[in-house]
Amino acid sequence: MATRTLTGITPSGTLHVGNYFGAMRPAIAAQDLGECYYFIANYHSLTTVFDPEVRRRNTLGIALDWLACGLDPTKSVFWRQSDVPEVCELTWLLGTLTPMGLLERAHSYKDKTAKGIAPNFGLFAYPVLMAADILLYDTTVVPVGKDQKQHLEMTRDIAIKFNQTYGETFVVPEPSIAEEVAIIPGVDGQKMSASYGNTLPIMGEEKALKKKVMSIVMDSRTREEPKPDGEELPASQLLKLFAPADEFASIMDQLKAGGYGYGDLKKALFTHYWEFFREAREKRAELAANLDHVESILQDGASRARAVASEVLDRARRNCGIV
Ligand code: ADP
Ligand code: TRP
């Protein structure tokens, strides 16, 4: 069977440099290697976000960011989850075969409720909706971060149980977990994460982004002091992502030798970071000025996704005896 890669992107806020290198860039590169299905998981966002305007804004923002960064709708199928509501029916079919114990063991549910998010049925059933997302498209591979590994295992368990109970229905997908993907540090040196408030956003206004770069936490060594560990500094790790290799090497040499200060390093970082996303920023502004076009991309994606979804859902309905 041909490879069909699928992943969902939760519209929970603005995207940052960690998301870009950890998730977006590999997903965009995968477009040239096989069939790709990418969707904005707005049904999932209902479990934790309760402001409709925020949801609409984040959903549109994600669409603009991904298209601006190189998601090519002529190569990939890109849609809004809720435009293919078949996924809700499949969630029910799968839910009736999902053991309570399986859901009770879900780390993400335990983590979210421990953080004070009020438990609701949707939050508890989240892994079943995710399984439906994946199984509805005969997906073969799901690239996800480590935190989603358990959800993938649950998806496989549910698919196998359905197939055993009602006969061969679903493709059992393989996870693709990039264990070794570098963890991009944030401005405080910890893992860059929306929930730590330490991000460098991929889009934004020049002054605000510069301020963020200038706020990167450094030690107290003076400009003159040699810094033999220069390459390990979070600011250097960030610079490495954006600067040409020869320029990066030359800056590392200067840091080691002494006479190159943290202000210089941050200025170089800002220059390259700003330049790196220039084209995407321009593309985003063009897209934002033509929202009808963006909507038509999502609608076209939804109709292509729906063609697959309705076939798979029919198969599932027939096999379990509701038609
Ligand atoms: P956040 O931690 O900001 O909430 P998510 O958990 O929503 O980010 O992650 C979305 C995607 O971005 C995942 O595939 C994840 O692996 C990737 N990602 C997030 N932060 C980083 C980071 N600091 N370094 C590398 N990849 C990251
Ligand atoms: N739960 C995923 C996350 O929080 C998003 C997601 C929803 C997803 N449905 C999916 C990822 C299906 C992969 C496949 O990041």
pLDDT of amino acid 178 = 77
Same domain, 175 and 308: yes
The CATH number covering residue 64 comes to 3.40.50.620
Distance separating alpha carbons of residues 254 and 100, to the nearest angstrom: 59
Same domain, 175 and 53: yes
Within-domain flag for 156 = yes
pLDDT band at 2 (very low <50, low <70, confident <90, very high): confident
Q: Whose CA is nearest to atom 5 of ligand 2?
A: 8
Structural domain count of the chain: 2
Candidate from 7, 58, 150, 193 with most ligand 1 atoms within 8 A of CB, to mutate: 193
The DSSP result for 64-109, as a single string, is HHHHHTT--TTTEEEEEGGG-THHHHHHHHHHTTS-HHHHHT-HHH
Distance from residue 165's CA to the centre of ligand 1 (Å): 36
Domain that holds residue 91: 4-183+291-320
Going through 162-313 in order, the beta strands assigned E by DSSP cover 174-177
Same domain, 269 and 152: no
Same domain, 127 and 170: yes
Same domain, 209 and 95: no
pLDDT in tens, 262-319: 999 999 999 999 999 999 999 999 999 999 999 999 999 999 999 999 999 999 999 9
Same domain, 260 and 112: no
pLDDT in tens, 237-276: 999 999 999 999 999 999 999 999 999 999 999 999 999 9
Candidate from 10, 17, 19, 179 with most ligand 1 atoms within 8 A of CB, to mutate: 19
pLDDT of amino acid 145 = 80
Q: Which residue has the tokens 């393989």?
A: 174
Same domain, 315 and 211: no
Rg, C-alpha atoms of the chain: 22
What the block records as the tokens of 37 is: 């299905």
Within-domain flag for 227 = yes
- CB distance 192 to 200 below 8 Å: yes
Same domain, 230 and 170: no
Distance from residue 65's CA to the centre of ligand 1 (Å): 15
